[in-house]
Amino acid sequence: MVRLLKPATFLLSLLPLVWICYQIWLLQSGSGHDLGADPGKAIVLFFGEWAISFLVLTLALTPLRTLLQETWPVRVRRMLGLFMFFYASLHLASYAVFLLELDVGNIARDLAKRPYISVGFAGWLLLLPLALTSTNAMVRRLGRRWRSLHRLVYVVAVLAVLHVFWLAKSSYFDAFLYGLLLLFLLSSRVFSSAAGLLLKLSKAHF
């Protein structure tokens, strides 16, 4: 079971990509597909939803370890984090290719003028150092600083929710859903570290 954990997670995480590739193939071959009348926009939204879903999943693993008293959740944490980066990059790339058609002027204008775009882009930029330092060698090299650096993911979570919130026109369902999930996952960390601190203090006194 334990040996299958990583390959199984890897294959499952690829399923959204497989599905969208299949839809694109259907679309390009002129058959019925599920991408609608504006397939470019549908693809951008699809990757965005999966990026934020992987963000929620990744952040859920540490509390899950505490809850289950098992270590397997954190063994796939790095992989899921990298998939978050993968889908966030596809989200950004498909936005640039399908919606802005790689027009540099357009991209620059959008980044400067549209706050939800700048917030989303900032979130992706913050993911870059995390993805680059995800190798075993980097973990060893950075030592304690690796953990502090990777706390940036909490900032990314806030930016991602802001990005979704700013995009909404009238229905805040998605924004609320992701906002609540991430609030819950972040506050569980605050609680557990506060509890840890209290425990330390009480041990020091007695």
Partner 1 sequence: MLIHKKSPGDVKSSEITSEADFYNRRRLVTALGLSGLALSSSLAAGTREVHRTNAPLAGPGWLEQKLSSTATSRYSTSEDPTPFNVVTSYNNFYEFGTGKGDPEENSRKFVTDPWSVEVAGEAEVTGTFTLEDIMKPHALEERVYRLRCVEAWSMVVPWIGFPLKDLLSRFKPTSDARYVRFETLYDPDQMPEQRSRFSTIDYPYVEGLRIDEAMNELAFLAVGLYGKVMPNQNGAPIRLVVPWKYGFKSIKSIVKIEFTKRQPKTTWQSLQPREYGFYANVNPEVDHPRWSQASERRLPASLFSSNSIETLVFNGYAQHVAHLYRGMDLARYY
Member of 12, 22, 25, 34 binding partner 1 (CB under 8 A): 34
Measured in whole angstroms, the distance separating CA 41 from the mean position of its chain's CA atoms is: 19
Does 101 interact with partner 1 (rule: CB under 8 A)?
Answer: yes
Member of 89, 96, 107, 116 binding partner 1 (CB under 8 A): 116
Does 24 interact with partner 1 (rule: CB under 8 A)?
Answer: yes
Does 46 interact with partner 1 (rule: CB under 8 A)?
Answer: yes
CB of 139 to partner 1, least distance (A): 34
Contact at 8 Å (CB) between 146 and 138?
A: yes
Does 99 interact with partner 1 (rule: CB under 8 A)?
Answer: yes
Structure tokens, 183: 């609030």
Does 37 interact with partner 1 (rule: CB under 8 A)?
Answer: yes
How far, in Å, CA of 130 to CA of 151, rounded? 9
CB of 88 to partner 1, least distance (A): 18
CB of 134 to partner 1, least distance (A): 28
CA angle 202, 204, 206 (to 5 degrees): 70
Backbone phi, psi, residue 42, to 5°: -60, -40
Binding site for partner 1 (CB under 8 A): 23-24, 27-28, 32, 34-43, 45-46, 49, 97-99, 101, 109, 114-116, 166, 169-173, 176
